[in-house]
A = this chain, B = another copy of it.
Amino acid sequence: MPIDFEHSAKTKAVTDRTAAVIAEHILPVEDEFGGDIDAAGGDEARVKLQQSARDAGVFAPHAPQEFGGLGLNMCDRAPVFEAAGYSLFGPLALNIAAPDEGNMHLLAHVASPAQKDRYLRPLVGGQVRSAFAMTEPAPGAGSDPSMLTTSAHRSGSGWCLTGRKHFITGADGAGFFIVMARTSGAPGDRGGATMFLVDGEERGVHVGRHIATMDHSMVGGHCEVEFSDVRLTDDDVLGEVDEGFRYAQVRLGPARMTHVMRWLGAARRAHDVAAAHVAGREGFGGRLADLGMIQNMLADNEIDLAATRALLLRACWELDRGHAASAETSIAKTFGAEAINRIVDRSMQMCGGLGVSDDLPIARIAREVRAFRIYDGPSEVHRWSLSKKAVRKIRDTALTSS
């Protein structure tokens, strides 16, 4: 039957179990340590949190069933990931945190059977963590990937990889890296890039300083990483040579959407905290929740939550049908990132002084979500891309009709 917004019974069940384990086992840990995963114990905390999710039967819900996951498609992931994102530690607990989650998705689609056994299986199982090494310090690849400077060249029967990366999330302690390196062309033109699987223990891999940022919920930091003459074989090539930019899209479209799902959960928590606050507080002759300006903010939050969810599901449906869905994911990501920040900001405002304090979780949620308007493509880059498509569409229509 056409048009249906109803999730399957299985998805609903996983969502409910996720919400329950988050409320019972994950939120208390987040709240105790103020959302700082290092303070909570870093990798050790991760192991414990993941055990809770495993016990609840909601571990790695997105991963292929043959590798130990629940095999949910993109549409199914939406409510589950949102439920997990309700706690800043939730995604880690379910093993659906960035960058591992996106890396699993990429490996599942592009890796060879041998690579899947070696890298995907332990990643799904939570035995190792991973990192995705793409962004570089200026003048390298940032928002504009064509500026990629890290390069790999043929060396005997293998490859020699050299370059500097930064803001590499989860690098410290990562079992392996997926590294984007130029294999043809020169920085500034697009040329060809190739993805390499690089073991974290490999000679020539140097994880440098953690770049301190506003967020604190991710294990392994946002690091500088240097690759110095790292020797690799053809078996370390992920997919085909020179197809890296295309695979990046395979990873990025869904990864953007799962980010939206997770942060949507965090935004919902901020909203719930604020709604409870204004429902319970008095001032100006009545309940805060009955003041028109507060009602304005509550309603705008409801609207932003609903719109983000609607755009997200639409993009997921396109992805599940095998479409690139570049416009749909750009729209859902851009709107979602901005809406999520608005929701959290309004929630903070509604809570007054408490809102900016660590006595409520809103201030830390605000710190975590801000960067989402920048990473996975800044809003400006998505808008640029959307505008180009809009003009192309008009041109095509004009050509057709004339």
Contact = CB atoms under 8 A, between A and B. Distances in A.
Contact of A139 (B282, B291, B316, B394): B282
Contacts of A291: 292, 380
B311 A387 contact: no
A334 B300 CA distance: 10
A289 interface: yes
B383 A293 contact: yes
A359 interface: yes
Contacts of A370: 348, 356, 366
Interface string A8-27: 10010000000000010000
Given A310-B311, A384-B295, A142 B303 contact: no
Contacts of A367: 214, 367
Interface stretch (A59-67, A249-257, A270-278): A270-278
Given A311-B307, A349-B379, A6 B11 contact: no
B353 A135 contact: yes
A394 B272 contact: yes
A263 interface: no
Nearest to A335: B303
Contacts of A144: 283-284
A192 B326 CA distance: 47
Looking at chain A, what size class is its interface with the partner chain?
35 or more
A207 B77 CA distance: 49
A378 B391 contact: no
A391 B289 contact: yes
A114 interface: no
A279 interface: yes
A44 interface: no
Contact of A292 (B6, B294, B382): B294
Contacts of A302: 327, 331, 386-387, 389-390
A384 B6 contact: no
Nearest to A382: B299
Interface in A348-402: 348-349, 352-353, 355-359, 363, 366-367, 370-371, 373-375, 378-380, 382-384, 386-391, 393-395, 397-398, 401
A186 interface: no
A34 B213 CA distance: 12
A203 interface: no
Given A2-B8, A5-B314, A214-B356, 18 more contacts: A2-B75, A3-B7, A3-B316, A4-B4, A143-B284, A143-B352, A167-B353, A212-B358, A214-B367, A293-B293, A293-B295, A299-B382, A299-B383, A302-B386, A306-B328, A349-B373, A355-B374, A366-B370
Interface of A: 1-8, 11, 23, 34, 75, 135, 138-139, 142-144, 147, 166-167, 211-215, 222, 271-272, 275-276, 278-279, 281-284, 289, 291-296, 298-303, 306-307, 310-311, 313-314, 316-317, 320, 327-328, 331, 334-335, 348-349, 352-353, 355-359, 363, 366-367, 370-371, 373-375, 378-380, 382-384, 386-391, 393-395, 397-398, 401
21 contacts: A2-B7, A34-B212, A138-B282, A139-B282, A211-B358, A212-B358, A212-B359, A214-B366, A275-B393, A284-B384, A291-B380, A294-B387, A295-B384, A296-B383, A299-B334, A299-B382, A301-B390, A303-B331, A306-B335, A353-B375, A367-B367
